[in-house]
Copies of this chain bind each other. A is one copy, B any other.
Amino acid sequence: MATFSHQIKVRGFHCDMFQHVNNARYLEFLEETRWEWLNRMTSFEFFEKHQMSFVVVSITIHYRWPSLLNDVLNITVETNHIGNRSASVKQVITRDGDSKLIAEAEVTFAMIDNRTGKSVPISDELKAFFEN
């Protein structure tokens, strides 16, 4: 279960009136990192073939330190837990250079069958995919 890392630079429009990255924007940073991670695993074909998609069922995020304009953030994602009907990833945001911890999150997904819209069990093949 290797850790994938993606870099995002803080822009003026990411910051809100307190001059810090807004709470909601961090969820975009986390999502961008997860997409980049999935893309590296060429998962799109995999999920399309199986007519399944992941939906986020819950997010817990701890904001540890504000990030500011021009901060470069390193955002990681790694598989945390794989259950029968859901899976979770752990994501950590640190500031590049001094590794200051900015935020930590756990994101939980369920697997949905695109044809029925209903949750389906996570197959062994898919478990292997995420444990890779």
Q: How far is the CA of A58 from the CA of B62 in the complex (A)?
A: 4
Q: Which of A1-29 contact B (CB under 8 A)?
A: 9, 11-13, 15-19, 22-25, 27-28
Across-interface contacts of A63 in B (CB, < 8 A) = 55-59
A35 contacts the other chain (Cβ, under 8 Å)? yes
Out of B19, B23, B55, B58, which one reaches A17, CB within 8 Å? B19
Closest residue on chain B to residue A19 by CB atoms: B17
- Shortest CB–CB separation between residue A84 and chain B, in angstroms? 19
A70 contacts the other chain (Cβ, under 8 Å)? yes
Q: What is the copy number of this chain in the assembly?
A: 4
Q: A55-B63, A58-B60, A63-B57 are in contact. Are A13 and B22 (CB under 8 A)?
A: yes
Give the total of A residues in contact with B, Cβ under 8 Å: 33
Across-interface contacts of A17 in B (CB, < 8 A) = 12, 15-16, 19, 69
Q: How far is the CA of A18 from the CA of B18 in the complex (A)?
A: 9
Across-interface contacts of A27 in B (CB, < 8 A) = 23-24, 27
Contacts from A to B (Cβ < 8 Å): 9, 11-13, 15-19, 22-25, 27-28, 31-32, 35-36, 39, 53, 55-63, 66, 69-70
